[in-house]
């Protein structure tokens, strides 16, 4: 098979705003949705492996990467709708939807809003499965954090954090990985528009008590959807227990643990993540859910709940 082309950035106009995305390969479509303060380029090592057999589409969420940073709606539903519109613009009717961290919440919302367009669902160290989250993210959601964020994203400070992380990693210290992740998260936020978009996105899903948006009560809707959950064994941002509990709540859910990864498997173990994604897609039959099927899922749940109450 020919090698896939470069993972180049493209852009389209969606509702008057720039929407950036990357695409590579050909074949059944796989959509890769990045997490907070990441962008499509952070999927490159995974995407180029998958692009040998699939068409890989990685959007930049609004407010991230090369996409516009307008004042407006940064909710999970708004992000999901933007991805639907991008796929429609590209002529992609249905796809396997993969989401990492915040992108996992967007992926679940995409499935919930557009089940007819979803063939499979993969959640990678996903948000939206429980309240717990790292203290750093809870703190960033507090009032008054905008000034602190502006100070924390000064280039000299970010460079110093990254250098310290590199030195610690060379010595084998685990904290080095975390410092590098902090620097990686801060770099894209050096512009005022990016900082505002980050805070609006963050506050849509997190407050001082933790994650404020949960999909747990709707996981039963995935009973007819091929679903896989992937988690980094060393994740300290979102607890592994969230993924394990979701696995138990989703009938037939596949679960994969990546020992080499923390919260960013797409960067920390891209080969391992690409392997489990490729195997999952190759060994499952894509779902086809229409409005009648969706109604049956909801009605079945309602009947079961009524029997429990009775």
100 is catalytic: no
Q: Minimal CA–CA distance to 31: which of 47, 10, 8?
A: 47
Q: Minimal CA–CA distance to 15: which of 84, 65, 103?
A: 84
- Helix ranges (DSSP H) in 171-256: 175-186, 192-205, 240-249
Helix (H) / strand (E) containing 106: helix 102-113
Mention every residue, 6+ apart, whose C-beta is less than 8 A from residue 27: 53, 54, 55
From CA 157, how far away is CA 159, in angstroms rounded?
5
Q: Exactly one of 64, 67, 263, 269 is catalytic; which is it?
A: 263
Rg (CA), the chain: 19
Q: Exactly one of 40, 60, 79, 235 is catalytic; which is it?
A: 235
39 is catalytic: no
From CA 66, how far away is CA 45, in angstroms rounded?
19
Q: Which pair of tokens denotes residue 52?
A: 């040998």
13 is catalytic: no
Whether 251 and 223 have beta carbons less than 8 Å apart is answered as yes
Q: Exactly one of 40, 101, 125, 126 is catalytic; which is it?
A: 101
Mention every residue, 6+ apart, whose C-beta is less than 8 A from residue 140: 149, 199, 202, 206
Residues recognised as catalytic: 101, 235, 263
């Amino acid at each position: 098979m020919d090698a896939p082309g470069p993972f180049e950035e493209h852009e389209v106009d969606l509702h008057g705003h720039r929407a950036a995305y990357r695409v590579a390969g050909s074949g059944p479509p796989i959509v890769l949705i990045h997490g907070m303060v990441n962008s499509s380029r952070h999927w490159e090592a995974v995407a180029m492996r998958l692009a040998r057999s699939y068409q890989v589409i990685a959007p930049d969420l609004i407010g991230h990467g090369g996409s516009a940073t307008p004042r407006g709606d940064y909710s999970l539903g708004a992000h999901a709708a933007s991805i639907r519109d991008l796929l429609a613009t590209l002529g992609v009717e249905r796809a396997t939807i993969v989401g990492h961290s915040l992108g996992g919440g967007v992926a679940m919302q995409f499935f919930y809003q557009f089940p007819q367009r979803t063939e499979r669902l993969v959640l990678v160290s996903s948000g939206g499965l429980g309240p717990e989250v790292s203290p750093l993210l809870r703190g960033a959601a507090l009032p008054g954090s905008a000034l602190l964020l502006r100070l924390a994203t000064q280039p000299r400070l970010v460079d110093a954090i990254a250098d310290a992380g590199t030195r610690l990693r060379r010595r084998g210290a685990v904290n080095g990985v975390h410092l590098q992740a902090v620097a990686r998260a801060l770099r894209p936020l050096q512009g005022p528009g990016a900082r505002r978009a980050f805070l609006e996105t963050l506050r849509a899903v997190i407050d001082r008590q933790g994650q404020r948006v949960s999909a747990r009560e709707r996981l039963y809707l995935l009973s007819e959807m091929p679903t896989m959950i992937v988690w980094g064994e060393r994740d300290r941002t979102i607890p592994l227990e969230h993924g394990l509990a979701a696995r138990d709540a989703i009938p037939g859910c596949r679960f994969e643990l990546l020992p080499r990864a923390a919260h960013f498997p797409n960067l920390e173990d891209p080969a391992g993540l690409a392997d489990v994604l490729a195997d999952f897609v190759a060994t499952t039959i894509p779902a086809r859910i229409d409005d009648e099927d969706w109604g049956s899922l909801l009605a079945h749940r309602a009947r079961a709940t009524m029997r429990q109450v009775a």
